[in-house]
Amino acid sequence: MQPYELTLAGAAAAIRAGELSPVELTESVLGRIGAVEDRLGAYVTLAADSARQAALRAEREIAAGRHRGPLHGIPFGLKDLIDAAGLPTTASSRVGAPHPPATDSAVAARLSAAGAVLLGKTHTHEFGYGLTTPQTRNARDHDRIAGGSSGGSAVAVAAGAATFALGTDTGGSIRVPAALNGVVGLKPTYGSLPLHGVTSLSWSLDHIGPLTRTVEDAALVLTALVGSQGPPGAAATTAPTVRSGPPAAPGPDLPPPESADLTGLRIGIPRQHYFERVDPGVEASVRAAIDQLHACGAELMDIDIPLARYLQATQWGLMVPEATAAHEQTLRSVPELYGEDVRVLLEAGALVPAGDYLRAQRSRALMREAWTEVFQQVDAVAAPSVPMAAVRAGQQSVQWPDGTVEAVSDAYVRLCAPANITGIPALSLPVGPDGTGLPAGLQLMARPFDEATVLRVGRAYETASGSVGGPVPVAA
């Protein structure tokens, strides 16, 4: 096994035992990038020289007995909406900032404090406003989309071109590409991680989270992000105030146990919304995974999803005007620099009446209250992350067996939006493959600040199913 094939936990254990050095690991991952990047397009900016310097520094610190923890010496990718000092934040757009930021974002500073090695910035759908990431190809099938908007981060992790990566999630932008590329993606509770130094798409829906190869790896990254102190002024955005029971705030004790025993845990299975207009192969894979959770001892309970018919309208009613407000000045001064798909959405946002935006805010408040009642019945909710596997590049719509024609972007956001609207933590982990041989995603959700439960359930599934693997083969 080559070092780039190791999971984060495996690499960290090898480094701590003196069996692998950060320099060896970083060189192996950089070599992997050189071998696959021209076919995948995961990175917009590669910082190989500074990565080598950081890896050497980590190696010397560890040799001197100053080991900072499991992320020390681990190479990672950073979505190009997240500032890193000295590297331009382009947002994969011609409108992107021309000058590199002088300081790290809060999350980049926390990873640096943990000793992680930044490889470079990964591609995003322009300004995070889309679910395909057109510059990047799917790690498993280059003719298909990577998913978005954190497509570069997901593909880099899936292909072994990063040991882990950070992404952002406004309407599924971590979970969608995680599901389509067969990796783990975690959207933590809204407000649990600071957005200081992150280019915003929709301030009230934006989240930051890790993409990894295993649930254990996601827990290790989240522990480092939450357990460290950010720079002054890097406070988190306001978190939801509606909770069901005392929150289990994420922290240093996050890594779930090795045991796959879920006895006593109640998992809700939605009766509506999540299994409507879902590809049969994806549904079969997800339901098989849910059966595995039941075999681990979890009690399965059918639940109703509150206000389901209003979910997409609320998501778009919040996101579209907020995104337009964020881009108001540049949309007026340099509209021609935006890609057509993003420009059209931004222009549409200017036409949303204030009353509609306020109604969407009211709808969100009602949904948060209603989901509180759901989590009084169950400890977690299990459902598909996406309704279908990765579509072919350029495909604009999908026709369902009932005759409904749905835009690809609407289909992918549909099952992820509830966790953004309510702010609850959501984890996507790979299941399948579906009938075409492509991965699908199992989505696990829990009450606010109860990341520990989604990680526990996800880890139990990995342990019981033996589904943890290395990077996917990259075709020529």
More confident residue, 201 or 245: 201
Complete DSSP assignment for 270-320: ESSSTTSS--HHHHHHHHHHHHHHHHTTPEEEEEPPTTGGGHHHHHHHHHH
pLDDT at 55 over 80: yes
Tell me the three state secondary structure of residue 177.
Answer: helix
127 vs 92: CA distance, rounded Å:
7
In tens, the pLDDT along 177-218 reads 999 999 999 999 999 999 999 999 999 999 999 999 999 999
pLDDT at 252 over 80: no
In tens, the pLDDT along 6-20 reads 999 999 999 999 999
Beta-carbon neighbour count of residue 279 at 10 Å? 21
Percent of the chain with pLDDT over 90: 88
Percent of the chain with pLDDT over 70: 91
Q: Between the CA of residue 384 and those of 10, 318, 375, 411, what are the distances in Å?
A: 28, 23, 18, 12
Give me the helix-helix angle, 48-63 and 22-40, nearest 10°.
160
pLDDT at 254 over 70: no
Question: What is residue 259's predicted lDDT score, i.e. its pLDDT?
Answer: 73
Mean pLDDT of 89-97: 90
**Is residue 120 a contact partner of residue 43, using CB atoms and an 8 Å limit?**
yes
Assign 466 a pLDDT band (cuts: 50, 70, 90).
confident
In tens, the pLDDT along 135-167 reads 999 999 999 999 999 999 999 999 999 999 999
381 vs 378: CA distance, rounded Å:
7
Assign 337 a pLDDT band (cuts: 50, 70, 90).
very high
Q: Exposure of 275 by Cβ count < 10 A (0-12 exposed, 13-18 middle, 19+ buried)?
A: middle
pLDDT at 221 over 50: yes
Assign 280 a pLDDT band (cuts: 50, 70, 90).
very high
Question: What is residue 435's predicted lDDT score, i.e. its pLDDT?
Answer: 74
More confident residue, 475 or 188: 188
Assign 470 a pLDDT band (cuts: 50, 70, 90).
low
Q: Exposure of 220 by Cβ count < 10 A (0-12 exposed, 13-18 middle, 19+ buried)?
A: buried
Q: Residue 122 carries which side chain, given as an amino acid letter?
A: T
Assign 429 a pLDDT band (cuts: 50, 70, 90).
very high
pLDDT at 245 over 50: no
**What are the structure tokens assigned to 449, written together?**
């600040």
61 vs 49: CA distance, rounded Å:
19
More confident residue, 466 or 308: 308
In tens, the pLDDT along 104-116 reads 999 999 999 999 9
Question: What is residue 433's predicted lDDT score, i.e. its pLDDT?
Answer: 80
Question: What is residue 236's predicted lDDT score, i.e. its pLDDT?
Answer: 44
**What are the structure tokens assigned to 351, written together?**
């036409």
Q: What count of Cα atoms within 13 Å lies in the side-chain half-sphere of residue 217?
A: 29
Question: What is residue 250's predicted lDDT score, i.e. its pLDDT?
Answer: 45
Assign 96 a pLDDT band (cuts: 50, 70, 90).
confident
Q: Which range (69-83, 215-229, 336-350, 398-412) has the least confidence?
A: 215-229
64 vs 111: CA distance, rounded Å:
20
Q: Which of 470, 453, 101 is nearest to 248 (CA)?
A: 453
Assign 258 a pLDDT band (cuts: 50, 70, 90).
low
Question: What is residue 175's predicted lDDT score, i.e. its pLDDT?
Answer: 98
Question: What is residue 318's predicted lDDT score, i.e. its pLDDT?
Answer: 98
Question: What is residue 188's predicted lDDT score, i.e. its pLDDT?
Answer: 98
- Give the active site residues: 79, 149, 173
Q: Which of 383, 388, 386, 415 is nearest to 399 (CA)?
A: 388
Question: What is residue 340's predicted lDDT score, i.e. its pLDDT?
Answer: 96
In tens, the pLDDT along 365-381 reads 999 999 999 999 999 99
Beta-carbon neighbour count of residue 64 at 10 Å? 8
Q: Which of 204, 223, 186, 243 is nearest to 448 (CA)?
A: 243
Question: What is residue 257's predicted lDDT score, i.e. its pLDDT?
Answer: 52
- Calculate Rg over the CA atoms of the chain: 21
410 vs 439: CA distance, rounded Å:
20
Question: What is residue 40's predicted lDDT score, i.e. its pLDDT?
Answer: 97
Mean residue pLDDT across the chain? 92
**Is residue 133 a contact partner of residue 123, using CB atoms and an 8 Å limit?**
yes
Q: Which of 92, 95, 129, 127 is nearest to 331 (CA)?
A: 95
**Is residue 185 a contact partner of residue 175, using CB atoms and an 8 Å limit?**
yes
